[in-house]
A and B are shown apart, each in its own frame.
Chain A
């Protein structure tokens, strides 16, 4: 069996007396799209932050392609090949769209520029490359953030609510782009509230509630799982 792209072993994280993530274990074989769902406050974003090193986990281990990444700083996790987007957009507003992508690169300037332009073309933003990112529309900023994350060619892609606030056309483009990442062999883990998106896109879904994993499986099975229904709608 292939080494999982991401493996999380019994990760815990508390804030004061609140256990935000309470012993979660996930195993993500490579090259697939995974969903992470759960009611508000179930620990999804905290788990993302533990994976990316933004929060220091209290206990547990995290492996990227078999290599431990827990305890690394956020930039080190990124350099190991984890790309992420944020729930609230975080572009660099006073840098241009093109510069937003170029900051990530080292080495030959022309090659970096060519790659950045190719990615902007990929999301049809080439014409706005010299516009300040802060002047772009919400959806365009979302796309800039998305392709900026791809500049490092990450093996694992973490998306925090990619569909939030995005219109239908843009959403279809984004989902198509995510599928293409999967086809390129990347592993994708996304947090999403829009169940249609989760059910249409993900091959495996993990469900968190009160910081614990309560279910795991294909979307069709998850939808009928009693514990999941209970977590979402109450008994």
Chain B
């Protein structure tokens, strides 16, 4: 079973690796998007799926990475692969700064604080026109790098998923889960819950930061409303809830299934699309609050590494 799974995984990775050789431009861009959603959903899962601290502003890290990357490329002439790491670093710094005050809040208050953070960041980016172009947006020099970005985004998706596997199978991961399970009991067992929440938030910020910078490079133009949309956070959350929070493959499954569903429905019935997403949220929350893999995990007693 395990061997078959690993073989299938290796085959999938190989197929994605050679796909740009013969795939269409549309295909490459679509898969690039799937990679991005895997990285975003997987990152959200690290903090919210494991510690239970639901972040409603995770796109803030994506947007911060996009602007940091965009500014580094346009104003400092950094090559985009390095600038994308700069985007990750910017998101990390943002997480370190806001983690202190926000992680002392519990439950819905944390969620709202993160939501507010995203709005503040969007306003700040609009305000500092000299640096960010403000509401006019930021245009990057023309460059067709879709294929290399495809590979880097693919690596990012793999790194986030592999990192999730390592964390979930470690005692560090168990300690993160105790925060979700019962924070007071975790403290009573000698676990420094604040520090662990901080680690989780930092880890969950890097991926979106890099993905944001890569997206900025890929699209060539960013503006505040395009990189700080609440809809992106909601999509990450729905993907993880659908696939199974707190598992390794749940975010991957959610990202793939919902992205494909979205593309199919969106192409044919553009007006039904938001309705479909709303319906999925309601259905998942009501029928299987643990998501597809979470349900299987509990029912058949499977490890969280599914």
Does A213 count as interface, using CB distance less than 8 angstroms?
A: no
CB of B171 within 8 A of CB of A95, answer no
Q: Chain B: interface secondary structure?
A: helix
Q: Chain A: interface secondary structure?
A: loop
Closest Cβ–Cβ distance, residue B279 to chain A (whole Å): 27
- Contact residue among A75, A95, A151 (Cβ-Cβ distance under 8 Å from B177): A95
16 extra A-B contacts, CB within 8 A, seeds A75-B191, A84-B188? A74-B188, A75-B193, A78-B187, A83-B188, A92-B181, A92-B182, A92-B186, A95-B177, A95-B178, A102-B174, A103-B175, A103-B186, A103-B191, A106-B171, A109-B171, A151-B189
- Contact residue among A54, A75, A94 (Cβ-Cβ distance under 8 Å from B190): A75
CB of B190 within 8 A of CB of A93, answer no
Does A68 count as interface, using CB distance less than 8 angstroms?
A: no
- A74 partner residues in chain B, CB cutoff 8 A: 184, 187-188
Inter-chain CA distance A73–B177, complex, in Å, is 20
Closest Cβ–Cβ distance, residue B24 to chain A (whole Å): 43
10 intermolecular pairs with C-beta atoms under 8 Å apart: A74-B184, A92-B185, A94-B246, A94-B298, A95-B181, A103-B175, A103-B191, A149-B188, A149-B189, A152-B190
CB of A102 within 8 A of CB of B171, answer yes
Does B144 count as interface, using CB distance less than 8 angstroms?
A: no
- A86 partner residues in chain B, CB cutoff 8 A: 185, 188
Inter-chain CA distance A52–B191, complex, in Å, is 13
Chain A, interface residues (CB within 8 Å), range: 20 to 34
* 6 closest A-B pairs by CB: A78-B190, A92-B181, A90-B185, A74-B187, A103-B174, A79-B190
User: Please, which residue of chain B has its CB at the minimum distance from the CB of A52?
Assistant: B188
Most buried by A among B171, B182, B184, B189: B189
